[in-house]
Amino acid sequence: SDLPASGRAPGPAVPLALAPIRSVADWRDAILAKLVYALGRDQRTASDRDWFEALALALRDRVVAHALDSDDLTRVAGHKRVYYLSLEFLVGRLLVDTLTNLDMTGLTRAALGELGADFERVRAAEPDAALGNGGLGRLAACFMESAASLAIPTCGYGIRYENGLFRQEIRNGVQVELPEDWLAAGNPWEIRRPERDCDIGFGGHVEQVGDDDGATRCVWHPAELVRAVAHDTPVIGWRARHANRLRLWSARAVAPLRLDAFNAGDYLGAVADDVRARSVSRVLYPSDTTPAGQELRLRQEYFFSAASLHDILRRHLAEGYDLSRLPDMAAIQLNDTHPAIAIAEMMRLLVDRHGTAWNEAWRITCGCFSYTNHTLLPEALETWPVALMERLLPRHMQIIYRLNADHLEAARAKGAASDSLQASLSMIDETQGRRVRMGTLAFVGSHRVNGVSALHTGLMRETVFHDLHVLHPDRITNVTNGITFRRWLFEANPRLTGLLVDVLGDAVLDDPSVLAGLRGLAGDPGLRARLIACRRANKVALSNLVGEQLGIGLDPDALFDVHVKRLHEYKRQLLNILEAVSLWQAIRARPAAGWVPRVKIFAGKAAASYAQARLIIRLINDVASVINNDPVTSDLLKVVFLPNFNVSLAEIIIPAADLSEQISTAGMEASGTGNMKFALNGALTIGTLDGANIEIRDHVGADNIFIFGLTAAEVAVRRLDGWHPECSIVASPALAGAIEAIGRGTFSPGEDTRFAPIVDELRRTDRFLVTADFDSYAEAQRRVAALWRDRDAWWRAAVLNTAGMGPFSSDRAIGEYAEKIWHVTGLER
């Protein structure tokens, strides 16, 4: 789309093919040229950051060449494109990803060596791009990498937040949030695209041109414009087969400086418009599954949706196609409801701007859009007050009313006529003030709606989307999540990867189903010895990090029991720490009973406004300081909370894990993706029958995973029956002892009420059924310890975990989206 509209540009196929790098010397000189000529630095005094930047710029040249070429091919072939709209992309670092996919890691180590720079230090100088909160954002990043690897022409659209997810420090056990200034030193991967900038309106009024039912042309006169400024980051696929781009929008005022005000001495007033406009892309909302409910958040959603749609339509028209063909050329995926307003925006653009008839506009819209749901938690289902929408997006509100009228009429025609059904199906929720249900808008405006695991998709059909599902029984489909093996195996665990290549051949790098070949080797002592060595080395590396950061010495031969993910009550870090307390008490009571030495490792951030989650972090840290200083248990039990969990830290922790904690209340974790990363790297899972855990069990074998606890169906029954946690506590002396210790201040000397909100919640309501599952969990942990003692059996199970994880590649997931939802194939060369 960067060349003339019709056909391939004249002359050679874009001036792309940079001279191939034939030697370490070539590559060394290319990096050095960037250091000197692009950055103006001296080789003798260059810092690690300088070298990182020079290297990234040299790599970017090569990736950009691929991206232009891929784009050109796509356009000439008239190939359909995918647009992935997501308010979050939790990318992490890009350096090693890029080197891996270009197969330039070895070359780069050598080239940097000749330049006197250290590869590991240069690698660590890159800040994480943390433009996401957790699983949803990381999924988007894995999907971008897989789409490029499968040569599916895809553009990711999101916001270029100036401040991504906060940096977490733990001070005296308490989470402190600090801004993460990832752009402070510039971002060498991105390229400004001023010719793609566009202006986005807010507020104002609507001029009625036709009838007043909203279905004919109107003119919206916004009161305010914000400029969307385009930045592209190229994303290269495996073996450099194809490259896509991630286009992130930042916001600024259309007229950033009022010179008259400035000259009159009003320096703040002169830039006030710009400050206000820029706030739209200032921060990532630090909420994981609870909506922030702020006007700014709605502004962010509309801002990036509108800029992206503008860009999609511009490209389509520039390539010479008629708008009626948009569904053949563009598949637009909504990553959760955050970009759902794009559905109303598409209708507005088609009807008001391009004069398309209403019904035809609706056919085009539904043909393009599809929507992924990531949670059924009621507090996380987005709704916006009608009054706010009317003020901020008056034309969109009219369009939504009209779409809703059509939708409810169609439902009535299909027999869904009762008041209660109509109320439940409506895009407007009338039960708590009038609010727009973004999930309903997304469902109605999409040709496919998908869940992210088999269980979650079933629950969508049965619960939150039941009535809509009855109306459109073919719309909901399942695509179980996946992870990119390039990052989560090849890059995070080069030792294991080397071993797999030795044993299974190079094919394992291209085809994850080859992993199944390990099954026949599960009992092989040679393989086992090498696996053990590799895990031990990863555990030593993690132990060193823990030693440096926390001053805690770990025994790499202990069982590393790992629970890392966002802090949320439904993820039940509390269940884990309660069991740790009870284990500590049991060890103290009988220190010589032959305990398996264990290290309990936690990491994760809590939303700043989520008091109970913050308190759980404090409890974990307070429990850690007591247990880690107890001489009686010190060789047998350690508790570690690693601060500032992010993608880069996950890459170190996961390959060092023996046991993976996936213990959410059944029915509440839509899928989970951390569960996949651990099992792929050979950790055994202790988990509930929730989300993708169920499918992991099916693929690794029920004997090789520790399942415990209530099922989703049993949880639903418990909740209906109004059970009382006191019964579970009374029935379990171990649980009662742990809660009692916390309640009497064992871990908060001098302040025995510190954890009262936790103790009260457990004793009175226990909404996440921690007490109900405690004994079953503790029993599963004893099975873990028993298997750990049987070294052969443990490692057999570990091999069978890695062997079974092929289906959880995001290449498989993207392949399913492409086939079932997007109707697109990879680009042939």
- Cα dihedral angle (115, 117, 123, 129), rounded to 10 degrees? -80
CA 393 – CA 172 distance, rounded (Å): 45
Record the tokens describing residue 295, joined without a space: 């006007």
Residues 120-149, mask of contacts with ligand GPK (x by CB under 6 A): -------------xxxx--x----------
173 is a contact residue toward ligand GPK (CB under 6 A): no
Q: Which of 227, 374, 437, 487 is catalytic?
A: 374
Q: Which amino acid is present at 482?
A: G
Cα end-to-end distance, the chain, whole Å: 18
Rounded to a whole number of angstroms, the minimum distance from the CB of residue 668 to ligand GPK is 8
Q: Give the nearest distance from C-beta 605 to ligand GPK in angstroms.
A: 12
539 classed as catalytic: no
Structure tokens at 573: 């870090």
Task: Give whichever of 452 and 803 is closer to ligand GPK, judged by the CB atom.
Answer: 452
Contact segment (CB under 6 A) with ligand GPK among 237-245, 374-382, 466-474, 716-724 equals 374-382
Name the minimum Å distance from CB 672 to ligand GPK.
5
H/E stretch holding 570: none
Alpha-carbon gap, residue 22 to 6, rounded angstroms: 36
Nearest to 478 by CA among 489, 469, 487: 469
For the CB of residue 198, give the shortest distance to ligand GPK in the complex, in Å: 28
Q: Is 672 near ligand GPK (CB under 6 A)?
A: yes
Q: Closest CB to ligand GPK among 374 and 395?
A: 374
Q: Interface with ligand GPK by CB under 6 A: which range of 55-63, 247-255, 351-359, 666-674? A: 666-674
Catalytic residue among 105, 673, 685, 746: 673
Q: Establish if 439 lies at the interface with ligand GPK (CB under 6 A).
A: no
- Please give the backbone phi and psi of residue 118, each rounded to the nearest 5 degrees, phi first: -105, 120
Residue 610, phi-psi category: left (phi > 0), alpha (psi -120 to 50), beta (remainder): beta
571 is catalytic: yes
Contact between 289 and ligand GPK (CB under 6 A)?
Answer: yes
Joined tokens for residue 316: 């389509």
Is the Cβ of residue 139 or residue 284 nearer to ligand GPK in the bound state?
139
- Rule CB under 6 A: say whether 814 interacts with ligand GPK: no
Q: Let me know if 34 is a catalytic residue.
A: no
Is 71 among the residues that bind ligand GPK (CB under 6 A)? no
What is the strand order of the sheet 559-564 is part of? Answer: 637-641, 598-603, 559-564, 659-662, 684-687, 706-707
Q: Is 131 or 531 the residue whose CB approaches ligand GPK more closely?
A: 131
Parallel, antiparallel or unpaired: strands 684-687 and 706-707 = parallel
Q: Which of 252, 447, 677, 697 is catalytic?
A: 677
Q: Which residue is nearest to ligand GPK (CB)?
A: 135
Q: Binding to ligand GPK by residue 605, rule CB under 6 A? A: no
The residue range among 211-219, 222-230, 577-585, 669-677 that interacts with ligand GPK, by the rule CB under 6 A, is: 669-677
**What whole-number distance in Å separates Cα of residue 379 and Cα of residue 520?**
47
**Coil, strand or helix at 497:** helix
Choose which of 375, 383, 493, 681 interacts with ligand GPK (CB under 6 A): 375
Q: Which of 124, 380, 545, 552 binds ligand GPK (CB under 6 A)?
A: 380
Q: With binding defined as CB under 6 A, does residue 374 bind ligand GPK?
A: yes
**Residues 441-460, mask of contacts with ligand GPK (x by CB under 6 A):** -----------x--------
Taking residues 468 to 487 in sequence order and writing x for each that binds ligand GPK by CB under 6 A, - otherwise, the string is -------------x------
One of 75, 565, 568, 614 is an active-site residue; which one? 565
Active site residue 565: yes
H or E, element range at 687: strand 684-687
- Please give the C-alpha separations between residue 630 and each of 26, 116, 145, 436, in angstroms, as whole numbers: 57, 46, 46, 55
695 binds ligand GPK (CB under 6 A): no
Residues 6+ apart with CB under 8 A from 823: 80, 331
235 vs 239: CA distance, rounded Å: 12
Measured in degrees and rounded to the nearest 5, phi and psi for residue 236 equal -95, 140
User: How far is C-alpha 441 from the geometric centre of its chain's CA atoms?
Assistant: 23
Range in contact with ligand GPK (rule: CB under 6 A) among 108-116, 162-170, 547-555, 671-679: 671-679
State the catalytic residue, choosing from 62, 138, 486, 571: 571
User: Is residue 566 annotated as a catalytic residue, yes or no?
Assistant: yes
List phi, psi (to 5°) of 20: -60, 145
Residue 680 touches ligand GPK, criterion: CB under 6 A: no
Q: CB pairs under 8 A, 24+ apart, for 173-178?
A: 173/617, 173/618, 173/621, 173/622, 173/625, 174/614, 174/617, 174/618, 174/621, 175/605, 175/606, 175/614, 175/617, 175/618, 177/286, 177/608
Query: Is residue 288 involved in binding ligand GPK (CB under 6 A)?
Result: yes
**Residue listed under structure tokens 């001070």:** 171
Kindly identify the residues of this chain, within the stretch 46-65, that bind ligand GPK according to CB under 6 A.
none
Q: Which residues are catalytic?
A: 374, 565-566, 571, 673, 677
Q: For binding to ligand GPK (CB under 6 A), which residues are involved?
A: 133-136, 139, 288-289, 374-375, 380, 452, 481, 669-673, 691
